[in-house]
Structure 1
Amino acid sequence: MVTTTRGRPARHVPPEETPPARTARDLLETLPPTPGFRAEVIDGNLIVSPVGTPEHSWSATLLSYALQPVVMEREWRAHVGGVNVCIDGPRDSLVPDFVLAPADCPRWGTLELRSSGLILVTEVVSPGSARVDRDDKPRVYAAGGVPIMLLVDPIATRPAVTVMSDPEGGAYQTVTRVQLGKPLRIPSPVDFDLDTSIFL
């Protein structure tokens, strides 16, 4: 851009520069939309992975249908995919397949729900996300104070659903795993018997 001032020669003014990203979180916040991909920050690393298959998202939708009576009775909010969760502390950003939150869940900015204000998160394991969903995310959610994590794992050698609760010291202290098709009790504050045959 060229500017002129009275009695002075024109000078070149460089356009404003965006400061370089210093962290994965900074980079995430500057990414353009990535249709067909999910961008998350886990342990300070930016991870971009393909979104799940239609069957993957259908599992999360079925869970939403199953929990609908509880959600409506307690005036909670159920979010199927697409809602970012900011992990309290490190500010990692995850996109669970299903989120259960109170209507007044605190936020980080306008777009992210804060992890410590949630009720439950769910991850549906797919071939491309198996290690992260099974190993990393339970630890990250527990450290962020998410009371309950549900892991739907249809691709395990023995397909199963696991509920984890009582986060303490960066780990869930109570873990219950059932074979897909068996009933599973989701603990307080949800207090719900889930028929996992919905995922078959």
Structure 2
Amino acid sequence: MTSRRRPASLRPSPDTASHHLPGTARELFDALPRLPGLRTEIIDGRLIVSPVGTPEHGWTATLLSYELYPLVRERGWRAYAGNVDVRIDGPRDPVEPDFVLAPADCPRRGEREPLSSGPLMVAEIVSPGSVTDDRDRKPAVYALGGIPVTVIIDPVATPATVTVLSDPKEGVYLTSTRVAVGTPVHIPDPIGFTLDTSVFARSLGTS
């Protein structure tokens, strides 16, 4: 049997091949095309690719946007329910909250990534498949990025809850207020708004 080898000039060297492979989660994130029906983000150095939420998940984010709409109009802010990657100051990792509230002039990296020094508030709606990320890991990332307020709407808890986290310092929110869905909860400055959480009851199946 005759063995045929590719001429050395046509074979990629190990150095050349490795040079073109993404070496970090951030580089891999940047190399991926947009994936319809999936969300991509980096949490604790891990590239996470997950399905987008259910219609109820998206409706809950929309309801939050509706509740804050008068405040958004009064102060000239912007509210985004999904499809926005927040770039965390420091590690520069992109994380996709379910909801973002930001000034109109919030600085960005490119078209999709507001810098975490800009948003006033983010929110997560806990999914059964990402409970630990939504309840613990992502809020810690937001605190590290200095986002003043994080709201966690949790239909997985029994009973369903809404938690408001504020006063970020060194990757931890120092103040936490948790109520059952149906109970008003105050969102502190820079928002300064009392949220009627009963609006979430039907979308979360608690009414």
Fold match by TM threshold 0.5: yes
Structure 2 residue 116 is the aligned partner of structure 1 residue 100 = no
Amino acid of the structure 2 residue aligned with 1:97: D
Q: Which residue of 2 aligns with 1:180?
A: 181
Match of 1:87?
A: 88
Per the TM alignment, residue 106 of structure 1 is displaced from its structure 2 partner at its CA by 1.0
Q: How many Å apart are 1:157 and its aligned residue?
A: 1.8
Count of aligned residue pairs for this structure pair: 188
Deviations 1:65-110 (A, max 9, x none): 0000000000000001001100000011111110000011111233
Alignment-mate amino acid for residue 62 of structure 1: L
Which amino acid counterpart does residue 195 of structure 1 have in structure 2? D
Paired position in structure 2 for 1:167: 168
Equivalent residue letter for 1:121: V
TM-score norm. by structure 1 comes to 0.90
d(CA) in 2 for partners of 1:117, 1:77:
11
In structure 2, what residue type is equivalent to 1:160?
A: T
Matches within 5 A, 1:56-95: 56-95=57-96
- Superposed, which structure 2 residues align to 1:110-125 within 5 Å? 110-125=111-126
Q: Deviations over 1:16-36 (max 9, x none)?
A: 988220100000001012111
Are 1:150 and 2:151 an aligned pair?
yes
Q: Which one-letter code corresponds to 1:136 in the other structure?
A: R
Q: 5+ residue gaps in structure 2?
A: 1-8, 202-207
Q: TM-score, normalised by structure 2?
A: 0.87
Contact 1:49 1:128 in 2 (8 A): no
- Unmatched runs of 5 consecutive residues or more in structure 1: 1-10
The answer to whether residue 37 in structure 2 is matched with residue 42 in structure 1 is no
Where 2:163 maps in the other structure, the secondary structure is strand
What percentage of aligned pairs have identical amino acids?
A: 59
1:192 corresponds to 2:189: no
Amino acid at match of 2:119: L
- Match status 1:135 vs 2:136: yes
Provide the C-alpha distance between the structure 2 equivalents of 1:95 and 1:198, rounded to a whole number of angstroms.
Answer: 23
Structure 2 counterpart SS, 1:116: coil
